[in-house]
Structure 1
């Protein structure tokens, strides 16, 4: 689906009540609040240095955000803070090769009184290559926290906007006490979305405009060179668009092209072949039909780190008509194709990485496990999260593997990272250690994960940047499943509103459900997932495009 243009303004409505050249250097600390020691030692851990490499028992020495040593007999300095890794597995930190975590879209500029729809100014038409993702990025965003908790330590953030939103930036997902920007102007973000009510309003128009901007940039550069070396030559006109596009024309940075279907893939590849820029494709959910085209294109490929919801498959009934059975088969076939495409890309020799744009970081590991079950090898899965991503974004010198001289970006898990029982215990970003709670999974007498009882009336509280709010969740048993409702503070400010719960599921001790909120005439889906222990639940609610926020609930046993 095309991205809506009301995201930034809607966020304000949500926050009413309930919804109301990179170099390796030491961490920068502009605040003076850094911890006493910047030296850490992870001892006797199972270290997986690179995709496909056998895990080996070793220790890792970290100082000032850089890995200083990896081996069995390291000399540990007295000032080092020791992390006992005897039962832990260590991997290179994951890399989100195209992300909008922490990115807020700027407001659309006002149209001038003498506005000409057939020839609008670049900024109004969504052509803003001079903008930087750094100006839209907030390290304290809950979306950044969600990424980090899922094992991501570095992200290539892209600006949000029109057909050419601006330039990307490479950031580490540290905290606000450090300088997190590694490199700016890393790539040009582009897509085939037309402008509303003006030129270019169609896909064909966007392609024509992209050619025009590219060729005019090239022509301007040639005229500038002629002006600089010859007398009597008129000075060419220079504008921000052509200046910002120069790096693309010089092939100094790639174009990260967001595509929505196989036709858009072919159109982006056609532009690349015609004009000669470097190309990375992202956003497509089903690449299978264009794998052969991609193999010889030289374009980078980013796969959305998300799998389709399988609840529709699990809820299929047996006593149905042949027509409904045929529909079931089509749904299952489409699902199987989507979850198998990662393995097919790898088997075809197309190196790919992952993007979390439009995906939920909390579900990242579940998505990885499903892809592996559908044919993706663990080696290729880890490569997509680390080395492939580092190569595509130009960061392989400092990230992607666990070795001397690389940034201290690491993931420490309780077992092999793709095992269903494994949990992430520590994430180290730029030498900063983030600790996460490990929760024991409940088992029944047969050793299987046991389900908890969730029916009843729950009083919940949620935390957003606007403060605390709450309401009631009512869940009732209905046959083999559940039904329920939730109340919440109406975004319009008129007291409480209610919504029906859908997709209620219980897996082990985890309760999950979805409900919709009407905000300004728009229907917004909210995903809730929490860990239930007796009459309490702790978890998070994920609001599409806005990140996740903590939620806790207590059930009335009566």
Structure 2
């Protein structure tokens, strides 16, 4: 029986875890597969070698994935393919400090017959430090391509799981034919996420359990040392959990701790101060109150590349009573505080980078622009995307800036980065060139009128639960858009539907959202994509569950009348 998009992605995941470049190519090639040489010279481009660079005209020579030279008087080898960059701007490739792009959640293990909720096996309780994100990662995921289109060339991928999910890894977001591995074990992913219906089920319980696992790992290491150097000593118990935690206890890798608010920041730092492990905080959303603590502790931080939606602010009306005005003011104050935090971190002298977990790749540029409008400098934004991220991940020797001998990872734009009309035209990853189409703009707006999205659409999506499909309908009345999506009820009640909300069209881009009630959980689903005739391709993002590719075809005979 065919499953709809919602059943395959939302329900399936809930059950699993919660319930000038034409010279180099014949045509545009987003896959990077058609390269005819491994040696390129991008000539006379404006090059920004690092975050503080003011930019200068130069040629960049690339060979076998490495930057061989940057300068104005470079002797080019005969095999070099010259690419004229007179109107282009080159920046270091962006680095995602913590990502789940291309990651699928492993199946939950079956509970044993003698299961005791107060003392569950580690794997069932979400304590799996032996797991590796590479086992859950696919470079072929559309999420990887979406990040690359946004300028990201390297990412630290985090495994999906419970309180101690497993080992993170640093990968190149490059060619599908490559291993793309930079570092297999770059950290241990952890969080204050408790287990449902068993111990540890609360944040305090998670802290106690983390402390217990850490101390027992230390004790196991001591027993192993005695056992290997002495006779008459009982063999120590070497469990996967304790062996998986050993690199953290030895100080070889940090704990990449996911925290959201100031309380969780305090709890994670207190654990670090007590136990002494290396710490990187990721996922920060509400941290204004603990910036001084972050600075004094020297903790490395990755803040979310996601900001609150400002649609509620734009929709505020003038002709309202004082009580409503007061509510408006609170919403505006919360929004202003959220987007100003990055600038405050920079002002406090705290080096930080970004995590894209929970963010849509298509919204990343907007988020950074809003942060800059609220106080983050352009230099600070570029540093967070490049050199700061490389330093936090310990890969500054090979990435983060453009320099001789470093990886050929670059973002190439049509104008100065973050300016209104500037677009990412090409991304170079490990020496592979990915060429993306750009839209023609005039005065910051797409040339031509917006597309008409009305009609009956049949969609399919690739999710961890497999390929699935369904339908949605959009109707147009004057300038207003309305619609509905029908799907299998996640609660098993047959077919149900939800109205489409926030339907917007900008040029050829369509976006909308809808809500789903699944097992008592209210989930927000956002869809965005580009329409080309009667086809659409884009992404579907489910809050807290990730983003997945979606394609749709419109039935011409059912197009709604204007």
Scaled to the shorter chain, the TM-score interval is: 0.7 to 0.9
Which ranges in structure 1 are unaligned for 5 or more consecutive residues?
A: 1-6, 15-32
1:512 maps to 511
- The whole-number CA distance in structure 2 between the counterparts of 1:123 and 1:396 is 35
2:22 maps to none
What SS does the corresponding residue of 1:437 show, helix, strand or coil?
coil
Are the aligned partners of 1:339 and 1:370 in contact in 2 as well (CA < 8 Å)? yes
Q: CA deviation at 1:497?
A: 6.0
Q: CA deviation at 1:289?
A: 0.8
- The whole-number CA distance in structure 2 between the counterparts of 1:234 and 1:530 is 62
| Aligned residue runs from structure 1 range 44-443, under 5 A | 44-442=44-442
Q: CA deviation at 1:182?
A: 1.2
- The whole-number CA distance in structure 2 between the counterparts of 1:291 and 1:541 is 34
Which ranges in structure 2 are unaligned for 5 or more consecutive residues?
A: 1-5, 14-32
Q: CA deviation at 1:72?
A: 1.1
Q: CA deviation at 1:124?
A: 1.2
| Aligned residue runs from structure 1 range 451-466, under 5 A | 452=449, 457-465=454-462, 466=467
- The whole-number CA distance in structure 2 between the counterparts of 1:243 and 1:303 is 30
What SS does the corresponding residue of 2:502 show, helix, strand or coil?
strand
Are the aligned partners of 1:474 and 1:486 in contact in 2 as well (CA < 8 Å)? no
Q: CA deviation at 1:503?
A: 1.9
2:548 maps to 547
What SS does the corresponding residue of 1:515 show, helix, strand or coil?
strand
Q: What's the CA shift string for 1:203-236, capped at 9, x where partnerless? A: 1111111111111111111122222222322222
Q: Is 1:475 matched up with 2:473? A: no
Q: What's the CA shift string for 1:509-538, capped at 9, x where partnerless? A: 6543323356788654333345578x7785
Q: What's the CA shift string for 1:21-72, capped at 9, x where partnerless? A: xxxxxxxxxxxx8844211221111110000111111111111111111111
Are the aligned partners of 1:8 and 1:106 in contact in 2 as well (CA < 8 Å)? no
TM-score, scaled to structure 2: 0.87
Q: What's the CA shift string for 1:344-364, capped at 9, x where partnerless? A: 000001111000111111111
Call closer, same or farther: CA 1:297–1:116 in 2, change over 3 Å.
Answer: same
What SS does the corresponding residue of 1:283 show, helix, strand or coil?
strand
Match of 1:486 among 474, 484, 487: 484
Q: What's the CA shift string for 1:483-524, capped at 9, x where partnerless? A: 401345657899986532222335566543323356788654
Are the aligned partners of 1:63 and 1:431 in contact in 2 as well (CA < 8 Å)? yes
2:502 maps to 503
What SS does the corresponding residue of 2:206 show, helix, strand or coil?
helix
- The whole-number CA distance in structure 2 between the counterparts of 1:226 and 1:320 is 75
- The whole-number CA distance in structure 1 between the counterparts of 2:381 and 2:206 is 35
Mean alpha-carbon deviation: is it higher for 110-119 or for 330-339?
A: 110-119
Are the aligned partners of 2:316 and 2:328 in contact in 1 as well (CA < 8 Å)? yes
- The whole-number CA distance in structure 2 between the counterparts of 1:411 and 1:552 is 32
Q: CA deviation at 1:427?
A: 0.7
- The whole-number CA distance in structure 2 between the counterparts of 1:162 and 1:467 is 27
Q: CA deviation at 1:238?
A: 1.2
2:3 maps to none
1:528 maps to 527
- The whole-number CA distance in structure 2 between the counterparts of 1:187 and 1:537 is 41
Mean alpha-carbon deviation: is it higher for 314-323 or for 485-494?
A: 485-494
Q: CA deviation at 1:449?
A: 6.5
Mean alpha-carbon deviation: is it higher for 191-200 or for 101-110?
A: 191-200
- The whole-number CA distance in structure 1 between the counterparts of 2:364 and 2:39 is 30
Number of residues of Structure 1 aligned to a counterpart in Structure 2: 527
RMSD of equivalent CA atoms: 2.7
Are the aligned partners of 2:489 and 2:495 in contact in 1 as well (CA < 8 Å)? no
Q: What's the CA shift string for 1:267-304, capped at 9, x where partnerless? A: 10100000000111112211111101111111111110
2:17 maps to none
- The whole-number CA distance in structure 2 between the counterparts of 1:129 and 1:541 is 31
Call closer, same or farther: CA 1:399–1:202 in 2, change over 3 Å.
Answer: same
1:21 maps to none
Are the aligned partners of 2:7 and 2:487 in contact in 1 as well (CA < 8 Å)? no
What SS does the corresponding residue of 1:303 show, helix, strand or coil?
strand
Are the aligned partners of 2:11 and 2:518 in contact in 1 as well (CA < 8 Å)? no
Call closer, same or farther: CA 1:522–1:266 in 2, change over 3 Å.
Answer: closer
